Structure 1
């Protein structure tokens, strides 16, 4: 079989050296990669490095190997074009259709999916010109990954950091797997909750659950690859931030409720994949609860946590907002799931059977997605990203 053909564009930012790791991920997973750096990028990483790592010649100008018409052929034959890093200058030239080097020519001729991973200082990213250019590119079908928040060049910190190359690769892999050039969630804002809440008993103990957050993170990554602006509300998940996703860390059910309600105000869809504790201790002990010889511990009094999913469904922040819930069941799975769907009032409910060796912490999942209109969509045992794709397919249908 032919290897998937990837064009890796590299523009002139300090993060260019990190693109070498992204290139390695592509080549080690069987992709045929042509690296197209800008002239400025070669000030950071030389052509010899790109050629050695990709196994292919490297060009920056349309005048190289003119008989092969590279400025047309590269874009025409590619299965994916990814630009990482994409500087403010590159985004501006791409948005305005300029074609003054081989990379911008390739972007104009590409009829395959295009992914851009911006990296720049916060002020440059937030400038209205850059934001308008990003909006233009997204409107035309490009997947523009939101930059990460963190240390920038020098002592500066803020939004604009190049995302983890491993996470950029995951976005690209999902885009390639879908094989469509128009991301169906482009222009949409989606909120995903993930992980498991922890309800403190005292400074060292808490009530919690076995959720790892992997399904919620798969939902966030998949939505980003389908062009959505994604906000991930993460409860105690020890996982790397997905590329292009804004992450809000929370601990308790009350904190998760406040965060989700705040960011859902302008969301087109909210997917509640987090395992939220139904109860919390009625009293928090300010000091560690000590055991006393010859005495049994006092009974633990619990109070109910707010029903976040039911609240979201009953009081939608905007007309047409799609609300999706998750139900982890141990017995009478579908019967309990249907009852929960009716009780919560959400549009879709993902129902799966859980246990010590099922779902929690695993890379695999199996579920049935129940719909308020009576539909049932079974998802066979497989990677959690496959379930994520099915959920977003059903959400996209309802968003029209």
Structure 2
């Protein structure tokens, strides 16, 4: 397989990344970004392009026509509801929205792969470039996998990357096992009965229950982060009653984020939190309801998939280690690991760069060829090297 990008390729990819940066779309709204991806990929002549996956997702298939494994590489299309404060010429042109997580850079790395796959297909098997929507809300991967067309591109191996500020530029963090936590947003609604503030005893206020619930929920946190028993509950929002002085409240909401290293531990934490809410509401004669939002499963790197990424980086002379992993943050790429051998790496974006979700963050263009090299070497090692493999081609 032809390997490497020309100087012209890199210049065009950088310009395209900056174009995407100027026109960010948040989770669920990535329609124009998806069209940009399809337009950019068209000259590479993919064998199949699936659009509208999981919302606005795009899957481009590069098929050798020879039986072999299917490799899926995922990037994200969505931006964030953050006002950018950068003075860069390519800063966001959309008020209140910006690519402060680098997803447009990850997407450009996959576009760099498309350039090379368009010139020469792998010797066997096929490569699927998955441009996924709605990663930030946790809905995108689940939506893609639930799409009726997904079984036609279901991979044997799935790979992804995320840039990582605070890590030297181009240096990779990678380990097998847990790399990102499971998490979910828990919204608790408590309903009682309003009353005149001069006669609060004639109503049923949720105030006392709210005051007990917040410390009780955070008290479910347990275990060291390096333990599979780790659990963390963070209260993120609460509101109660109307903003007036004449009404004693009859309704309240408490929002909390539940976080664990493992999905099984999350099941236990959810059960404990719901039991706590149920008992507290019952004790004070309140009705209650619970619903969940932004549900992320744990991301676990498969040993074999991780070994393939390590081998590719060794072949390319790219430094890597296991430091700073796993992370408390969540990533919806973990869902791809439920049906494939999957692994995600973290590509250093500089020790002194702004952190992700900071309003002055900007994806380093120098990472585009580095990320593409790692992934293209992975393709070459798995699909071009002579070896036996079971795959669905």
After TM superposition, the score normalised by the length of structure 1 is 0.31
After TM superposition, the score normalised by the length of structure 2 is 0.31
